[in-house]
């Protein structure tokens, strides 16, 4: 083999090796760039997902909690109405409410699955119940009563300035067959006011002869020891007492107040109706009769 042929063969081999090395270099460089781009894109995706999660968290924090209706299986109750409390739990039977004299009563009646049925409020009378409300209509002439529907299902009966005689049972009823009823027992917390004599006997009518002394004691006891009672007030036939009639506070505690009325020498003009009251709603009354001569017991 000639020297020229050997040179050409060596040059061809060197060119072949250079081509292979150069090609591998470019291929690895492209792969590195590809992996770098993938890494950058992945970082961007992760950052975008993190930002989206932050946005979702801020939106969820501003939204009110979603309250789903309490669904029950139709095979159990055929989708009949039922009563529930403020937490959406089913209640049956009765509930109790204690109210202070003169406050506003708000009797709740939450009815789920009402559909086309009607809600009514009644009150148990001496002989039979009487109708208070039917749907959103009031069927009693007393202006203290009203029906206030609270979305989504609360048929609230409101009674303004409750009195002693508002004590008793109130029924919220749905006209299913048979009717479904929720009883609310209302207990009015009113101070116990009574007028007694010096021996502690409660008075309704009392007779005195002219010139004798009159001593009437008004005793007020709280119906709830947590709340302090206010001072009772005396009056005669709806007016202020004459100035010569003396008033003394003989006892005062957290749950009791005693005020004594005293007339030194009674005349016939002292006859009349004497009242001891706490505000306008809790009152005790005694009728005093001053007569000439002998007093009959």
Mean pLDDT of 127-150: 94
Average pLDDT, the chain: 80
54 backbone dihedrals φ, ψ, rounded to 5°: -65, -40
Give the residue ranges of DSSP H helices in the chain: 3-62, 74-77
Residues facing 283 on adjacent strands: 277
As a CATH number, domain 192-291 is 2.60.40.10
Residues 221-252: tens digit of each pLDDT: 876 655 566 778 999 998 999 999 999 988 76
Give the whole-angstrom CA distance, residue 262 versus residue 247: 6
Beta pairing, strands 205-209 & 282-291: parallel
Higher pLDDT, 75 or 175: 175
DSSP 54-94: HHHHHHHHHSPPP-------HHHHTT--EEE-TTS-B--SE
Backbone angles phi, psi at 13, to 5 degrees: -65, -40
Report d(CA 261, CA 248) in Å as an integer.
7
Task: Round to whole Å and give the CA distance between 256 and 228.
Answer: 8
- What would the CATH number be for the domain defined by 74-189? 2.60.40.10
Lowest mean per-residue pLDDT among 40-54, 100-114, 142-156, 163-177 = 40-54
**Are the C-beta atoms of 96 and 187 separated by less than 8 Å?**
yes
* Coil, helix or strand at residue 222: coil
pLDDT higher than 80, residue 86: yes
Q: Report the 10 Å Cβ neighbour count for 261.
A: 21
Of the candidates 197, 209, 203, 205, which has an alpha carbon nearest to the alpha carbon of residue 267? 209
Contacts of 9 (CB under 8 A, 6+ apart): none
d(CA 117, CA 202): 52
What is the reported pTM?
A: 0.56
Q: Are 79 and 113 in contact (CB under 8 A)?
A: yes
Whether pLDDT at 101 is above 50? yes
């Amino acid at each position: 083999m000639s020297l020229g042929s050997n040179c050409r063969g060596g040059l061809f081999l060197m060119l072949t090796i250079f081509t292979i090395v150069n090609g591998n270099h470019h291929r690895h460089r492209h792969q590195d760039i590809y992996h770098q781009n993938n890494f950058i894109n992945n970082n961007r995706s992760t950052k975008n997902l993190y930002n989206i999660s932050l946005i979702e968290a801020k939106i969820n924090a501003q939204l009110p909690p979603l309250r789903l209706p309490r669904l029950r299986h139709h095979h159990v109750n055929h989708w009949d109405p039922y009563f529930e409390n403020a937490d959406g739990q089913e209640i049956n039977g009765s509930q109790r409410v204690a109210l202070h004299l003169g406050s506003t009563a708000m009797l709740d009646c939450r009815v789920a699955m009402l559909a086309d049925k009607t809600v009514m409020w009644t009150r148990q009378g001496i002989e039979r119940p009487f109708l208070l409300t039917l749907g959103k209509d009031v069927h009693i002439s007393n202006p203290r009563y009203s029906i206030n529907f609270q979305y989504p299902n609360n048929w609230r009966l409101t009674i303004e300035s409750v009195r002693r005689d508002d004590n008793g049972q109130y029924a919220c009823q749905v006209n299913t067959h048979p009717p479904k009823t929720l009883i609310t027992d209302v207990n009015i917390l009113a101070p116990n006011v009574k007028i007694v004599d010096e021996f502690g006997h409660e008075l309704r009518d009392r007779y005195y002869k002219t010139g004798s002394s009159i001593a009437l004691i008004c005793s007020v006891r709280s119906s709830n020891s947590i709340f302090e009672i206010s001072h009772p007030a005396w009056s005669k036939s709806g007016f202020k007492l004459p100035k010569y009639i003396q008033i003394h506070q003989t006892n005062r505690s957290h749950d009791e107040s005693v005020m004594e009325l005293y007339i030194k020498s009674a005349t016939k003009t002292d006859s009349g109706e004497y009242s001891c009251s706490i505000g306008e709603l809790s009152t005790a009354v005694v009728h005093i009769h001053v007569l000439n001569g002998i007093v009959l017991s």
